[in-house]
Structure 1
Amino acid sequence: MMMPPKQDDLAARMDPSKQRPKAFNTGKGARGPSSKGDDASSWHETAEQKQKRLQDEMMGIGKPSASGPEPVRPSKSAKEEAAHRKIQEHVEKTRGPSLLDQHKQSKGAEVEEDDPSKRAFDREKDMGGSGHISSSQKRQMLNKAAGFSGKFSGGTYL
């Protein structure tokens, strides 16, 4: 006759009455709405209730839905606008020109030369001028390109 195996595993040694509770439904959704303004009643309202709620919102009777338009905030008063304008005028008088303006003035004085090696490729500037390559330009381009094979070949380490 065959005997069942001995229970030497961990589950047999643990007391089932001292098990820790299972972590279930303890996440962010189990805590309920994040703010008091959130209303989850739309999840379990009937079609008639929804229609009545929407009609009430249109008439301005009930509270507006959270996804509706935000309330209009009052514009600044004349006193606040005058104070803001006064501050801006004072700042313009006391401060010198901005760093951006200074930089533009210093760069404007220098003559900007168009060196293609110092800028990104621009089709209009680089290709637009001449659609024809002379033999000397072709030879010069081939000489420049001759060294590219060494750049993309495998390295020699020893």
Structure 2
Amino acid sequence: MSNPNPTISLNKDYLKSKAGILRIFEAIIGICGIICESVGGYCNYGGMYSFYNFVVVTTLIIAIIILIIYFFSLDQHLRFMCAFVNCPLTVFINDVIFTILYLIAAILMFVTVFGCRYRQVARIFASLFGVCGTIVVGLLAFDGYQLHRSAQSEPKSDPA
């Protein structure tokens, strides 16, 4: 007799893996970037701050969602979704896109640093957290690329 309600198990090994540690760093960097940007004030660069906020908050939310999915092994329980969507490839494409967006946001935040002196140090730190976020999400994208390439190079089993 099979259990119709499978239990959700905790995957502590994911938090110890390279991808899990990088996701945690991504969330921490996002929180620090949001704090620094909000303290930095607005020196007539409203659009740049909005873009930075969009990128950082979006990556923070996605990092938390991915951490929850893999920590609680929900990817194993959501097989119906993974039948339509290639989950590792989707995460890889997301990481590539947000690496580029994080880089643009960090550059735009660096532009605001020299615009005015009002709370300049907070904007410098927000820029540095943007660079750190670019590196972390870029490493996640590279890790996802290697995972995708290794999955593609595995020989397919012949049903015959």
- Fold conserved (TM > 0.5)? no
Question: Which protein, 1 or 2, shows the higher relative CO under an 8 Å CA cutoff with sep ≥ 6?
Answer: 2
* Structure 1 length-normalised TM: 0.18
Structure number with bigger Rg = 1
Name the structure where helix makes up a greater proportion of residues: 2
